[in-house]
Amino acid sequence: MNTFIATLPKAELHVHLIGTLEPRLFLKLAKRNNIQTAYSTLENIKSALQKFDSLDSFLDVYYQVAQVVQTEQDFYDITLAYLKKAAKQRVLHAEFFFEAQTYMQWGITFETIITGITDAIKDAYKKYGISAMPILCFLRNLSEEYALEVLKASLPFKDDIVAIGLASHEKDNPPSKFVGLFTQAKKHGYKLCAHAGEDVGPDYIWQAIKLLHVDRIDHGVRCLEDKDLVAYLQKTYLPLTVCPLSNMRLNIFNKKNYPILQLMNEDLNISINSDDPAFFGGYINENYAEAHKMDLSRDQLVQCARNSINSSFASLEQKERMIHKLEKWLQYH
Ligand code: HPA
Ligand code: ZN
Q: Write down the domain spans for the chain.
A: 2-330
Phi, psi of 94 (to 5 degrees): -125, 135
CA distance 9 to 307: 12
Judge whether 256 and 290 are in contact, CB under 8 Å. Answer: no
What average pLDDT does range 244-263 have in this prediction? 95
79 in contact with ligand 1, CB cutoff 6 A: no
Pick the CATH number of 2-330 from 1.20.1440.230, 2.60.120.10, 1.20.1740.10, 3.20.20.140: 3.20.20.140
Reply yes or no on whether the pLDDT at 254 is more than 90: no
- Expressed in angstroms and rounded, the spacing between residue 255 Cα and the centre of ligand 2 is 19
pLDDT per residue as tens digits for the range 66-110: 999 999 999 999 999 999 999 999 999 999 999 999 999 999 999
Residue 256 Cα distances to 16, 200, 272, 294, angstroms: 26, 20, 18, 9
- Ligand nearest to the CA of residue 199, numbered in listed order: 1
Judge whether 116 and 74 are in contact, CB under 8 Å. Answer: yes
**198 is known as an active-site residue:** yes
Reply yes or no on whether the pLDDT at 1 is more than 80: no
277 in contact with ligand 1, CB cutoff 6 A: no
- CA-198 nearest atom, ligand 1: 1
Q: Of the residues 52, 58, 69, which should be mutated to test ligand 1's pocket, given the most ligand atoms within 8 Å of the CB?
A: 58
273 in contact with ligand 1, CB cutoff 6 A: no
Reply yes or no on whether the pLDDT at 255 is more than 90: no
287 in contact with ligand 1, CB cutoff 6 A: no
